[in-house]
Structure 1
Amino acid sequence: MQRWSAGRLAVGLLQSSRGRSMETWRLQCGPKSSSVEAMSLLCWTVTAQIETPALLAKAAGLTCSEPVNFQLAKESSRCAGELEMKKDGEWRNVIDNDFTLNLNAADVVCRHLDCGSAVSTERKEMESYTGMWRISSTCLQSKSAVRECILTNSYPSSSFLKIICSGSVRLVNGTSLCSGRLEVKSTQSTQSWSSVCEEDFDLQDAEVVCRELGCGAPSVLQGALYGDMEAPVWTKEFQCRGHESALLDCDSSDRNTCSSGKAAGLTCSEPDNFQLVRGSSRCAGELEMTKDGERRNVIDNDSAWNLKAADVVCRHLDCGSAVSTGRKEMEWHTRMWRISSTCLQSKSAVRECILSEYYRSNSILEIICSDSVRLVNGTSLCSGRLEVKPTQSTQTWSSVCEENFDLQDAEVVCRELGCGAPSVLQGALYGDMETPVWTKEFQCRGHESALLDCDSSDRNTCSSGKAAGLTCSEPDDVRLSGGASSCAGTPEMKQQGQWRPVVDWDSEWDQKLSSAVCKRLDCGSAVSINISNSSSETPVWGISGSCVQSDWMGRECLSVTSSKTSSRNLEVVCSDLLAQPNISFSTHIDGVSEATQQGLRVLMGSDFTISCSILPQYPGGSFQLIFNTPDPEQKNYTLPAVNHSAHFLFSAADPTHRGEYRCVYHLYVFSHNFSSESRPLHLTLAASVTHLVIRLVVLGLLVLVSAAALFGYVKASRGQTSRPEDKMELDHLGGAEDLLGEEAGGAQGPE
């Protein structure tokens, strides 16, 4: 295939931009030109054809850089200042459209500008309104390209965005902006980022980097922790003293080799800018934050604050897990810092979820953390591997040996965490033992309010080597209300002592929420949902749809909002709508039916009835009697439900009636067929009195005949020696007594 020139390639792409498939693109483009001219022209073409940029780039096998239409201005460094954008040939300040700009969104801009990572962001106020370009910070947080998040029209605003980037250092491939493989570049923008050899970087150097990035003190420094060394490699060894404000301000010496071949991997702790105040301990109270040197209360931005978001704060403060959270109302509005609870629920670092501006509010967030106990690696706040630490914050969390922890201890822990009763207690259920290990055996009585209030005794070994794994049940705070069954109605949750309907503000989660409620209540799956609007508003609790899973809905998803009302009503019907039917047995002759270990016994030849009944939930329906008997010809019977019951009459019981019986209730309601099955009833048979008398008479005659024969035989044989076969015959005749005894036993039943 011939090589295309730059001009031919561009013209071919432009001519193919109308209605062509991806396969056509591959055939049209062919091998790309290696010349800089062709590459530049192709990227210009990709930028110009807004409708098909991804298609064009993929077809040509290229990655084009973002257009240079952003800058940080009016500061001494190109990596700090007011965010400006050039659009329609005009540079203007930028404002975020959704008022949710945080470090995650700002970091996309910093990396776009090749300025490292975001250190801080804020919203600056002006004296007058002016037209600004708009950008979606929600879009930026999805790690999209910056140009894809630009909105089409301008917006008059009196505030604009200011961003400070790290400039010459960054951490890549980490779990947050405060962790990753260290890369450095000189202040000249034309330089590339270089990996740093672990041998050229020590703890004092790490202290400077963590401070430069706006993070807390270094917690982990380890080579290859976040990936292998990548070329190019920084050729100097840093010699920081620890007080410098930037890594490139430190002294350094030349070093041309990296003998270990490992890149420096660094994890900085989160900055210490949060605290809980005015509570009973440092792990309970109002949430406060220091930002821009000013300490204020915190309010959530998106009215989706719940236990899951609060739990991130508790763990950030090393205070265990969230037990409860609420919103406290004040008499006046005051300035507060804002935080995105939706961001926190994605398990992001706390500092990355802080928003760029303050907000006036009359409600503040309160949190109570567990402080000294927590469950880790579980599926919810009520499950996991148990860890304990003393109330002194300097102590570390310790695993608990399963041998040192029993059911009474578990009852205390579940209560302390705000969960229901313990349901599973098993060693190594949520991971292996991790050091350090708690050295005491708990001796709780079950009534204590906290695990550390229990008595304990020293125990230095853990012979099983297994960590205590605990699953607490969810508290009884969910129900379906207003229906004829506990498995149908309006979903309600209990919070702050009040039952209210639960509403997800985003209706796309209705099916997911309904399924989770049915499974939470052990009602099967959701088979029907109905949404209606009432003429009046009622108080409701909100729930985070993104937190709810289709097979689980924990208390941590319930949003802690101010008093809100809604006219929207969600009604759910679960598959296990019907109660379990009852099955019973009765006879109709002068005989006694008795319970045995094998089930109910009916006398041979008597009449009997199997009755099916169910709680009066819904009118109508039918009962089907299913029975498994030795007779393959036996059929199932169906009767309509009359007064919620049906009676199946059987006459002249015989051996074909032995077996297992079940009642199945069928009902058509809510445009669906439902059914519910009873427990099994086992029926056995016994001989009737008449039948027993006849058999006893026959046995009596047999005994008399045998006795007469025996008398004649003995008389004829008098004086003769007994033979072995005579003894055998006597034994055979003696079997009549055994037969008589068996019949008698059948009439009397077991002793």
Structure 2
Amino acid sequence: MSLLSWTVEAQAQLETAAHLAKLLDSPAQVNEPDDVRLVGRASRCAGEVQVKQLGMWRYVINTAHNLEEVTALCERLDCGFAVGMTMSRSGLVSDDWEIKRDCAQAGSPLRECLSFSVITFSQKGLFRELKCSDSVRLLNGSSLCSGRLEVKSNQSWSSVCETDFDQQDAEVVCRQLGCGPPSVLQGALYGEVEAPVWSKEFQCGGHESALLDCRSSGSARNSCSPGKAVGLTCSDPVRLVGGASRCSGTLEVNYLRQWSPVDVSDWSLKGAASVCAHLDCGSAVSVRRTKATGFYPLTVRSDCVKSGSALRTCTTFMSSSSMIKLNCTDSVRLLNGSSLCSGRLEVKSDQSWSSVCEADFDQQDAEVVCRELGCGPPSVLQGALYGEVEAPVWSKEFQCGGHESALLDCRSSGSARNSCSPGKAVGLTCSEPVRLVGGAHRCAGTLKVKHLGEWRPVDVSDWTLEEAAVVCEQLDCGLAVSVGHRVESSDLPVWVMRPDCVQVGSSLRDCATSNDSSSIVNITCSDLLVQPVISLSSNDGVSEAQQQGFRVSRSSNFTISCFIQPQYPGGSFQLTFNKAYKYTQAAVNHSAHFLFPAAEPAHQGNYSCVYHVHVFFHNVSSESRLLSVVVSDHTGLTVRVILLPLILLLENIVLYFCCKEEAEVQQTGAH
């Protein structure tokens, strides 16, 4: 910077500081009424924004407001809605205002929304130029491009009767508001007629730039039937260009009647899905930022899009060196699911979406759909899982081989189906491609997510255990124990995920935004230990029965051993008996041995080994399978073994003498 430039800038900042001190010394003056105006254009509803404070008019410098926010300024001027913002450069001035974002929109007095700006010499004279809609506005709609139509004439806003308004008139209004062509025109869609009512019929040709430029009927109307106020919805002027189909390519918005690429710094698939739905293109498959060449795109605030506002409404006139490339599916989508990879299946053909009957769809068909959506393999295929069949219904059976890249590439049956039983709509859930790698166990390591066939690490600098818990849950790994970051020597292709997107039950893939980074996240879940092994040994041998478990002799000694594969040093084993009694020993060489010197019936029951160890500043544990022990009474068995032969011997002796005596008697009688 030259000495002259530095001197001029320093002088400007000194003037700014002096004026700020004056403001602080004059608190009573700050409370004077708001004053705002647009200057430099032929209409009072267009020009550079100026605010009057302390009796002086000052420009509002360039701040990143979108149309929805600055519409509050148009409303203060009774000028309808904001239809465009640009930047203009005026002569050098010494001090300017910034308007705090979201403040004026919330209805606060404008003086409370002002902040004094200290800007550099190179920024001097760069101001916000605003254009309002002058004489038309849409009220009670979901965006600046929808609502109940009102027209301004003679400083008064009037409702418009539906019978005095047609499709060509609607085309003019949508164009005047900077929106896309009309998509819905229906009476009372956004409220009833309110007095006064526009008194003549509009007769537009459709080419006019403003509604009041159109011809009107000669006769006047005095009243309008209830429920006949014009309700109008204009489409969001959005498109995808340069791709293989109308459902893929560079995202562009028609802004100030000119198509321009847009940049969304932290957009994920979940945010991009709204654009795909708007274009009637099915599900979002990929979204990525690329370098812009030869032009400077507009910027879209992602938090504005998430709130349901139209993309154009969220656009700010801020230059960017990046643009968005988006890919949506052409002909399949999943509705009512918890993520973009789950829901009720619909197929598009001849510009119409159709439900699919469960009887016409199988596992191989599901594999094709999940691949087409960029998801993992199918994990659940069940009728009516995400709602009932809705008309129309796809009329033929799919016969996929499983290798096709799109469902409509598959063969189909020749016969047509006319109906589908209730509860038989295809409900499909594709798996979540997530894993932890590089750790001692599948529940610990670097987080990686597979998207579009590519495994990438994840960079999430502001994640907490709450977001990490989503990963542990999806991997069936218990609770999150720790979340940290590792810095690589150079940047890697990574997925970036905002924490407000990642929630329990949500899909990590839906939250992924492509980027390059040297920081990657490591997660440890509670179930990071392998399962311990439990075994039993006894001095008299051990037998195991299928139903009764391990059998040991009464009064014999037996030992229950616990062992775990080496992962972490130290730790302890806790032997639990019937979930009540617990015995603890330190782990020596990753094992522990619990001796029972004399087996008793009280020792019968179920045993398990629980390994405890302190790692990553947390206590974690893992439990073995159950081992069942039965104690048998061998003393009684010994008595029976000895007495039984003696009894048999005595019986034989008695029987011998009885038989002998009988024989002698018979012999004596014969003589």
Which residue is 2:50 aligned to?
84
Residue 695 of structure 1 corresponds to 640
TM-superposed deviation, 1:698: 4.7
Q: 2: CA distance between counterparts of 1:196 and 1:289?
A: 29
Structure 1 residue aligned with 2:511, among 557, 562, 570? 557
Does residue 1:502 correspond to 2:459, yes or no? yes
Distance change (3 Å), C-alpha of 1:406 and 1:527:
same
Question: Which stretch of structure 1 is more off in the superposition, 371-380 or 537-546?
Answer: 537-546
**CA separation of 1:294 and 1:222: change in aligned 2, threshold 3 A:** closer
Encode CA deviations 1:448-506: one digit per residue, 9 max, x unaligned: 22211222232221012543222222112x53x665454445555566846445133xx
Structure 1 CA distance for aligned equivalents of residues 388 and 27 of structure 2: 56
Cα offset, 1:573, TM superposition:
4.3
Stretches of structure 2 that go unaligned for 5 or more consecutive residues are 1-25, 660-671
SS in 1 for 2:340: coil
Tell me the distance in 1 between the aligned counterparts of 2:44 and 2:92. 26
CA apart distance, 1:597: 3.8
Tell me the alpha carbon deviations over residues 667-716 of structure 1, each in whole angstroms, 9 at most, x when there is no partner: 2334433333233233345565x8656435555666788899999999xx
Name the counterpart of 1:462. Answer: 420
Indicate conservation of the 8 Å contact 2:151/2:198, yes or no. Answer: no
User: What CA deviation, in whole Å up to 9, does each residue of 1:97-145 have, x standing for no partner?
Assistant: 3xx3322223232223232222222223458787542223465577766
8 Å contact kept, 1:108–1:146 = no
Q: 2:627 aligns with which of 681, 686, 690?
A: 681
2:137 maps to which residue?
A: 170
Measured on the aligned residues, the alpha-carbon RMSD in Å equals 3.9
Instruction: Tell me the CA shift for residue 373 of structure 1.
Output: 0.9
Secondary structure in 2 aligned to 1:549? Answer: coil
- Tell me: CA distance 1:247–1:553, structure 2 relative to 1, closer, same or farther (3 Å): same
Distance 1:646 1:260, change over 3 A: same
Question: What is aligned with 2:195?
Answer: 232
CA contact (8 A) 2:151 2:159 kept: no
| Structure 1 residue 624, shift from structure 2 partner | 0.8
Confirm or deny that 1:305 pairs with 2:264.
no
- Letter matched to residue 460 of structure 2: V
Is the CA contact (8 Å cut-off) linking 1:304 and 1:560 kept in structure 2? no
Measure the CA separation in 2 of the matches of 1:179 and 1:161.
25
Post-superposition CA distance 1:336-393 (Å, at most 9, x none): 343334433444322123221443x2x5432222211112232221122222103x6x
Are 1:649 and 2:595 matched, yes or no? yes
- The structural deviation recorded for 1:184 is 1.2
SS in 2 for 1:95: coil
Indicate if the aligned counterparts of 1:84 and 1:92 stay in contact, CA closer than 8 A.
Answer: yes
**CA offset digits 1:499-536 (Å, max 9, x no partner):** 445133xx4x545433433334333333445679x797
Shift of residue 645 of structure 1? 1.9
AA aligned opposite 1:425: L
Contact conserved, 1:484 with 1:618, CA < 8 A, in 2?
Answer: no
Larger relative contact order (CA 8 Å, sep ≥ 6):
2
Judge conservation of contact 2:249–2:327 (CA < 8 Å) in 1.
yes
Name 2:332's counterpart in structure 1: 373
Indicate yes or no: 2:403 matched with 1:447.
yes
Deviations 1:58-101 (A, max 9, x none): xxxxxxxx94422222333322232222233222332233xx33
Shift of 1:203: 4.0
Whether the 8 Å contact between 2:534 and 2:609 is mirrored in structure 1 is: no
Q: Give 2:41's aligned residue.
A: 75
2:282 is aligned to 320
Q: For this pair of structures, how many residues does the alignment match?
A: 626
Aligned residue number for residue 668 of structure 2: none
* 1:414 pairs with 2:414: no
Aligned partner of 1:388 among 347, 371, 383: 347
Q: Offset at 1:238? A: 3.4
Cα deviation, residue 556, structure 1:
2.5
Q: Is the 8 A contact 2:84 2:256 kept in 1?
A: no
> What is residue 4 of structure 1 aligned with on the other side?
none
**Given the superposition, is the C-alpha separation of residues 126 and 679 from structure 1 closer, same or farther in structure 2, using an over 3 Å criterion?**
farther
Aligned in 2, Cα 1:80/1:415: closer, same or farther, shift over 3 Å? Answer: same
2:234 aligned with 1:268: yes
2:174–2:182 CA contact under 8 A, matched in 1 = yes
Q: 1:105 to 1:707 in 2, by over 3 A?
A: farther
CA 145–655 in structure 1, closer or farther in 2 if over 3 Å, else same? farther
Q: Is the 8 A contact 1:528 1:572 kept in 2?
A: yes
Given that 1:403 and 1:464 are in contact with CA atoms closer than 8 Å, whether structure 2 keeps it comes out as no
Q: By how many angstroms is 1:663 displaced?
A: 1.6
Equivalent residues in 2 for 1:346-361 (5 A)?
346-359=307-320, 361=321
Deviations 1:605-630 (A, max 9, x none): 5543322223322211111111218x
Structure 1 residue 417: deviation in Å? 0.9
Instruction: Give yes or no for contact 2:389–2:420 (8 Å, CA) kept in 1.
Output: no
User: Paired residue for 2:535, among 585, 594, 599?
Assistant: 585
Superposition pairs for residues 31-46 of structure 1, below 5 Å? Answer: none
1:284 correspondence with 2:248? yes
Map residues 212-251 of structure 1 onto 2, 5 A cutoff: 212-226=176-190, 228-229=191-192, 231-234=194-197, 236=199, 238-241=201-204, 243=206, 244-248=208-212, 249-251=214-216
79, 82, 86: which one pairs with 1:118? Answer: 82
Q: Residue 101 of structure 1 contacts residue 355 of structure 1 at CA under 8 Å; is this kept in 2?
A: yes
Instruction: Give, in whole Å, the separation in 1 of the partners of 2:137 and 2:656.
Output: 116
Change (3 A) 1:211 1:224: same
Distance 1:552 1:317, change over 3 A: closer
Q: 1:489 and 1:500 mapped to 2: Cα distance?
A: 11
CA gap of 1:564–1:151, structure 2 versus 1, over 3 A, is farther
Find the partner of 2:500 among 543, 546, 552: 546
- Identify the range of structure 1 (350-359 vs 130-139) with the bigger mean alpha-carbon deviation: 130-139
User: 8 Å contact 2:534–2:625 — kept in the other structure?
Assistant: no
Residue type at the aligned position of 1:267: T
Aligned 1:9-88 pairs, distance under 5 A = 67-88=33-54
1:417-436 correspondence to structure 2 within 5 Å: 417-436=373-392
Aligned equivalents of 2:471, 2:431: Cα separation in 1: 15
8 Å Cα contact 1:383-1:470 kept in structure 2: yes
| Contact residue 338 and residue 506 of structure 2 kept, 8 A | no
Q: 1:312 to 1:152 in 2, by over 3 A?
A: same
Residue aligned with 2:594, SS: strand
Match of 1:672 among 618, 641, 644: 618
Q: Name the CA distance, whole Å, in 2 between partners of 1:636 and 1:628.
A: 9
Rounded Cα–Cα distance in structure 2 between residues aligned with 1:82 and 1:406: 62
Which residue in 1 is equivalent to 2:353?
397
Aligned-residue offset at 1:640: 0.9
Q: Quick check: 2:51–2:59 contact (8 Å CA) kept in 1?
A: yes
Preserved contact between residue 168 and residue 204 of structure 2 (Cα < 8 Å): yes
Rate the CA distance shift 1:702–1:280 in 2: closer, same or farther, 3 A: farther
Instruction: List gaps (5 residues or longer) in structure 1.
Output: 1-46, 54-65, 715-751
Q: TM-score, normalised by structure 2?
A: 0.81
The answer to whether residue 48 in structure 2 is matched with residue 102 in structure 1 is no
Change (3 A) 1:520 1:463: closer
> What is the CA deviation profile of residues 240-263 of structure 1, one whole-angstrom value per residue up to 9, with x for unaligned ones?
345144344352554444444464
Question: Per the alignment, in what secondary structure is the counterpart of residue 186 of structure 1?
Answer: strand
Q: Cα distance 1:499–1:270, how it changes in 2: closer, same or farther (>3 A)?
A: closer
- In structure 2, the CA distance between the partners of 1:351 and 1:535, relative to structure 1 (3 Å rule), is closer
Sequence identity (%): 50
